[in-house]
Amino acid sequence: MDESSPALAVDIGGTKLAVGVVGNSGRPVTWGQVPTPRDVDAEQLWRTVEALIDRVLDEAGLTVPGSLAGVGAGCGGPMEWPAGIVSPLYIPAWRAFPLRRRLRDRLPGVPVRVHNDAICLTLGEHWRGAGRGKGNVMGIVVSTGVGGGLILDGRVIEGASGNAGHIGHVVVDPDDGPVCECGVRGCAAAIARGPALAAWAQGQGWRPDQPDASARDLADDAAQGHAIARAAMRRAGQALGIAIASATCLCDLEVVSIGGGLSQTGALLFEPLHESLRAHAKLPFARRVSVVPAALGQSAGLVGAAALILAGDRYWAGD
Amino acid sequence: MDESSPALAVDIGGTKLAVGVVGNSGRPVTWGQVPTPRDVDAEQLWRTVEALIDRVLDEAGLTVPGSLAGVGAGCGGPMEWPAGIVSPLYIPAWRAFPLRRRLRDRLPGVPVRVHNDAICLTLGEHWRGAGRGKGNVMGIVVSTGVGGGLILDGRVIEGASGNAGHIGHVVVDPDDGPVCECGVRGCAAAIARGPALAAWAQGQGWRPDQPDASARDLADDAAQGHAIARAAMRRAGQALGIAIASATCLCDLEVVSIGGGLSQTGALLFEPLHESLRAHAKLPFARRVSVVPAALGQSAGLVGAAALILAGDRYWAGD
């Protein structure tokens, strides 16, 4: 472990909850994760988070507050920032849930900072991953939702309400796309988020008898050569390629780093994505963008949540 | 005139060239403009710019360099920034034209700064117009092209190569849209830029015998109630509404200020634009964005070019 105190990092997404103890090297030294419980109320979900925190702190042999530099948490958006009052689109149990206050009450005496989970991934990738040393980076999480974060001209972009980075709600197919959870037709997320992909594939005849088949199953089948599953991955890649093209023209990005479960599928996602990006971003400056899987893999979000604390001078502009 | 020295401001667009002397109040005190000449070579176009500069300086009774704080210029994108080597998409005469160096040679002894014309409009609107006091502002120029600029978290966004803000190349209709000058199908600019609008209307039967009919004619006819002309304005508003929705979700914007010739058409453009924006941006934070015509009207670009000099500490990050 690093000599300086580590941070407790919390990552709350629509698919999984993860908690880790992260040192200054940017590696989680102790961590745990559980599936995000469904059909629970706000307090039941909070108790699941609390239990995971307790378990990880216990396994790490850490007592609070003395041994921690602070607590950084990423949570699905949108949220009131920096108050950390969260209403994650794909976690209906939490609407205006005071996550930051709850974490403070539970872990008193150390700084507690909450930001969008995809902004945390972006920070992680900028701090210790694929965006290291670059000034203009977008991070994307492709999972239950499609989230994002922006670092432009070397600084984290917060926007008017701390919600900058919502790449999943860039419109890519306004005429024929499915309607998004947010109510808009043709958002990138409405096409490319895992459950939407699985639903589309089922509509095409994939695993018709398994209503619970997931995007992970879809990716597995695509890897095995299943035609509909491959078409679904292609569809996701095309939608993400258009959204990334638009974001690259708008923000003059250098690196786009993609994390989340679906980012682990390699060429199945990235080949159609790159093809679509090339077709939709042709201005010379926009052609230079590099789109890569998150170098920190599935821990990018946790590492970035820790960066809110361990590199707070660079990455935290809230109170 | 202000007590401090004024700036010479230059605005080079696909439709018009404008030069003005702008004081610290943000009002042009002397200015002139000419249509951007067509079918000329790089040097002929430069001589037109030079002649306009000479005329305006002469009319203002200014001698260079003593009486000027500097020269700020906006030019259509893309460009190599901050070198000011410009390749404006809709001014084919200039490809890798060294505008900044030419201005320096012509007006030696004072600072010379060049940026994208739509970024200049954005600066103007932030400095003295509709975005004053706001931290998250996008400026858009709807004219021969559709350009843009971003101020996020209170700072001008340059991006990897100084080209951030290209809202015209956000994709809004990838399946059925026309092909843009940049080579991509369905960019906002391919639909909403003036010449594209006029061409579309002509394809629908508007002024069939007048191949030179312009977007200005189209706007005039729309104001008179011409059905096809109104449909064309509606089409532009819808495309811009989608692009602004995407940019608002991505950048968490507070104010979008629209300048350029077509922005002067009032409700004909803004009603369908607002309707489309409402339909395509439904996340609570994104609904709060305010989209308005440029408060500085047609001089926003000149005022912003002057801001590169007169408020350079806030707006100029180049060398």
Query: Which residue on chain B is closest to A284 by alpha carbon?
Result: B78
List Cβ<8 Å contacts ≥24 apart for A97-100.
A97/A42, A97/A46, A99/A12, A99/A73, A99/A75, A100/A73
- Is B160 close to A253, i.e. CB distance below 8 A? yes
Task: Give dist(CA B78, CA B116) in Å, integer.
Answer: 7
Placement of tokens 């007048």 in the chain: B210
pLDDT digits (tens, 9 = 90+) for A172-182: 999 999 999 99
Q: Give yes or no for a contact between A10 and A46, defined as CB atoms under 8 angstroms apart.
A: no
In chain A, which residues have their Cβ closer than 8 Å to the Cβ of B291?
none
Select the residue of B161, B173, B254 nearest A174 (Cβ to Cβ).
B173
- Is B184 close to A157, i.e. CB distance below 8 A? no
Task: Give dist(CA A56, CA A54) in Å, integer.
Answer: 6
- Is B163 close to A283, i.e. CB distance below 8 A? yes
In the predicted structure, residue B2 carries a pLDDT above the cut 60: no
Neighbours of B140 (CB within 10 A): 30
In the predicted structure, residue B84 carries a pLDDT above the cut 80: yes
In chain B, which residues have their Cβ closer than 8 Å to the Cβ of A139?
none
- What's the fold here for domain A134-295? Nucleotidyltransferase; domain 5 (3.30.420)
Select the residue of A182, A250, A285 nearest B282 (Cβ to Cβ).
A182
- Is A184 close to B280, i.e. CB distance below 8 A? yes
Q: What pLDDT is recorded for position A261?
A: 86
Task: Give dist(CA A134, CA A154) in Å, integer.
Answer: 7
pLDDT digits (tens, 9 = 90+) for B87-128: 998 999 999 999 999 999 999 999 999 999 999 999 999 999
In chain B, which residues have their Cβ closer than 8 Å to the Cβ of A153?
155, 157-159, 317
Placement of tokens 């190599």 in the chain: B80
Q: What pLDDT is recorded for position B293?
A: 97
Closest CA to B213 of B230, B227, B200, B224: B200
pLDDT digits (tens, 9 = 90+) for A65-107: 679 999 999 999 889 999 999 999 899 999 999 999 999 999 9
Q: What pLDDT is recorded for position A64?
A: 65
Task: Give dist(CA A35, CA A44) in Å, integer.
Answer: 14
List Cβ<8 Å contacts ≥24 apart for A183-187.
A183/B282, A184/B245, A184/B279, A184/B280, A184/B281, A184/B282
Q: Give yes or no for a contact between B236 and B191, defined as CB atoms under 8 angstroms apart.
A: yes
Select the residue of A148, A285, A317 nearest B163 (Cβ to Cβ).
A285
Residue B298 gets which letter from DSSP?
G
- What's the fold here for domain B130-295? Nucleotidyltransferase; domain 5 (3.30.420)
Residue A30, classed as helix, strand or coil, is: strand
Task: Give dist(CA A247, CA A219) in Å, integer.
Answer: 26
Q: Structural domain boundaries of chain B?
A: 7-116+299-315, 130-295
pLDDT digits (tens, 9 = 90+) for A112-169: 999 999 999 999 999 999 999 999 999 999 998 999 999 999 999 999 999 999 999 9
In chain B, which residues have their Cβ closer than 8 Å to the Cβ of A175?
173, 175-176
Closest CA to A148 of A84, A200, A76, A41: A76
Neighbours of B41 (CB within 10 A): 10
* ipTM field: 0.94
Q: Which residues contact A39 (CB under 8 A, 6 or more apart)?
A: none
Neighbours of A222 (CB within 10 A): 24
Name the pairing type of β-strands B79-80 and A146-152: unpaired
Task: Give dist(CA B74, CA B124) in Å, integer.
Answer: 11
Closest CA to B170 of A23, A265, A32, A172: A172
- Is A163 close to B250, i.e. CB distance below 8 A? no
pLDDT digits (tens, 9 = 90+) for B199-236: 999 999 999 999 899 999 999 999 999 999 999 999 99
CA of A104, closest CA in chain B: separation in Å?
A: 25
> Class assignment of domain A7-121+299-315?
alpha beta
In chain B, which residues have their Cβ closer than 8 Å to the Cβ of A249?
166-167, 169-170
- Which backbone phi and psi does A192 adopt, to 5 degrees? -100, -10
> Is the fold of A7-121+299-315 the same as that of A134-295?
yes
Task: For an interface test with B, give the residue of A95, A252, A289, A316 to mutate (most B CBs within 10 A).
Answer: A252
CA of B195, closest CA in chain A: separation in Å?
A: 20
Task: Give dist(CA B31, CA B295) in Å, integer.
Answer: 18
Task: For an interface test with B, give the residue of A250, A289, A315 to mutate (most B CBs within 10 A).
Answer: A250
Pick the CATH number of B7-116+299-315 from 2.40.128.630, 2.60.40.10, 3.40.50.1820, 3.30.420.40: 3.30.420.40
- Is A152 close to B166, i.e. CB distance below 8 A? no
Peptide bond just before A272 cis, omega within 30 deg: no
Per DSSP, the residues of B111-158 read: -EEEEEHHHHHHHHHHHHSTTTT-SSEEEEEESSSEEEEEEETTEE--
In chain B, which residues have their Cβ closer than 8 Å to the Cβ of A183?
282
In chain A, which residues have their Cβ closer than 8 Å to the Cβ of B164?
136, 152, 250-252
Residue A158, classed as helix, strand or coil, is: coil
Select the residue of B155, B166, B283 nearest A169 (Cβ to Cβ).
B283
* Adjacency order of strands within the sheet including A112-116: A28-35, A16-22, A7-12, A70-75, A112-116
Which pLDDT band holds residue B66 (cuts at 50, 70, 90)? confident
Mean pLDDT, rounded, for A250-259: 98
Task: Give dist(CA B271, CA B241) in Å, integer.
Answer: 10
In the predicted structure, residue B24 carries a pLDDT above the cut 50: yes
**Considering just the CA atoms, what is the radius of gyration of chain A in Å?**
19
Q: What pLDDT is recorded for position A65?
A: 67
Which pLDDT band holds residue A63 (cuts at 50, 70, 90)? confident
